[in-house]
Structure 1
Amino acid sequence: MSDILLEIRNLSTYFETRSGVVKAVDGLDLTLRRNHTMCVVGESGSGKSMTASSILQILKRPGRIVSGEMIYHFRDGRTVDIARLDPNSKQMRAIRGKYISMIFQEPMTSMSPVHTIGSQISEMMLVHEDVSKAEAKARTIELLTRVRIPDAAARFSSYPFQLSGGMRQRAMIAMALACRPDLVIADEPTTALDVTTQANVLNLMREIQRESGISIMLITHDLGVVAEVADDVTVMYLGRTMEQANVFDLFNAPKHPYTRALLGSVPRLDLQRGERLTQIRGMVPNPFARPTGCPFVTRCPERRFGLCDRQEPDLYRLDGSTSRCFQHDPVHAAAWAQNDEVLA
């Protein structure tokens, strides 16, 4: 069986609006392995959540996938290009929830407020599997117990507003695991939680991964979380992959200037008194005013005049990682090293 679970190649997801086209995801490349945790990081507006929505084909209008491939590898050796499926097709509905599920950022707004958590989790099983209502209820209570919700049998009949934030997030995890999927996408699942609850939720996800062998795509802003749970990391900016590497290489030897800037902005215990954190100048560009050349050119401290502002770099394959920067292009590497002039 292939070690690869999901391959995303040159994926583009656009929103055609009256003001113009928003390229939320623009030529994304990403590879997710079985039984691994892939963390997707980047500033707000980088296209992380849109990538998750594209994988599940739950884009809101006028968003649509305009090009690219998303090759999903089933355990039996079959493959399917999710990008080619109709979002409302029977085949896509069979994948969504059963093989790929999602833990949304805010469970209070993503769960139905007028249905109990037990009925919502049971519905996943009734839709995708041949089970009776009694069997679905028994498995739901077992799942709620597994995610450490106390008195699970009684909580089966609780509504989302009757649970704390941490318990609602645990219920969302139980719903995502209801049909034993191969891939769980977690879109910033600990954003609204306190630090202690965040740690408990992340530990729970890692424990379930060890037991079930699932793959996790974790979308987060917290590089501390990345260092703790990730196997591989994808760094996104303006809808594109800037760098992808295993977590050790990314933290020890980041290849892309944007990755180095993100890591430099994280507080460290070894900072000297008076030493300031690295600040990434400027803001993520307006989607209607994308820069010419490299997406990061307007903010990059290492940019080269006449190159980065005119040409867009490819995603260059290095030893075990990838980076979208001209300094890794064999054609421009020598000129890059010799040219010390940067854009003002």
Structure 2
Amino acid sequence: QFLYIYSNVLPKIGTFIISLTINRLQQTHFLNKFSLHMNKIFPNLQKLALDDWKNEELFSFIGNHLNQLQYLRTIIIRGLRQVNHTNLITHSSEDQKHLLEITHKNTQIECIYFEPDCYSMKLSINQNNLITHSNLIEMSISLSTSNDLISLAIIIPNIRRLHVVIEELLPINKDIIPFQCLTHFSLDAIDFYSTLDNISSILRLTPTIQQLSLTLTTRDERLIYGQHLFTLLSSQLFNNDNLIESLKYATYFSTSVDYHFDPKNILQSWNPISIAYTINKDEKKSYILIHTLPYPSILLNLHSILPNKFGINLGDQVYNNIQYLCICHAKTLLETFTIIQHCRKIQDLNI
């Protein structure tokens, strides 16, 4: 069926196609048929989605076959798989080389989105003779550590909107070159316990932001009180007339079972921003999920006991944008339904 479509259908309608998705099952046939003639068969293509490719095949295709598509502005990459590397230095070098190639060779592209189900990249940048990419306006990407974000600021210094998932936040002790034009910054760090100092280090890279979104997991109680976070925000964010629109925030805080939560002080610390929170305990720990409204990220990791007391009405649509949901230590499927029913766009559910 694919062969028939590629041989008889796509060549006839290619000039009318402005958006195209190529998944792993179609990859071989598509590359054999069209990779060398993309600009002739799809001259008006504006958006390209690539699903479940291996990294070397994907980067080779983007780097070598798309630069003649003059109207192509957006690339969406889902489920990018990494070719096994036993050498971490080689892995890091390959990631940064591939990223440089696809941005440098395709200067017409304005937006590149690596969806959260792509592997986390490692970037090791040598600033000597480095060619940066100045046309990219928006990117989403998963990175291994916060040091890779430093490298990204060197590769794409003029990016305007950046959405990053980082596996591990490390102290930033070296000199940095911050993003020069970044106005919208979104950080998801839900697989690592963040601290206020980690966030302070990250914000050194983003002095020009006007809109900030943070989604964190933490054991640092300072991150559940708004006034501590406000002290770190750039002057641009404070000067914005609408602080409520400028800051989006969520954190999942775990602590000792005898920790006393003071909801009144927590709410007051976030004034004038409205927040929602859910507090719960088990025999070992206390937990709080606290966030601005609506929930700011497409990612949500929860301890299984939290959904049992989720105090959000279905009509509130607070969690409508969640696409990737992880519920840890669930004992029964039934106890997950309380939160799942709020998440109407789930693509990936991990229990």
TM-score under structure 2 normalisation?
0.31
TM-score under structure 1 normalisation?
0.31
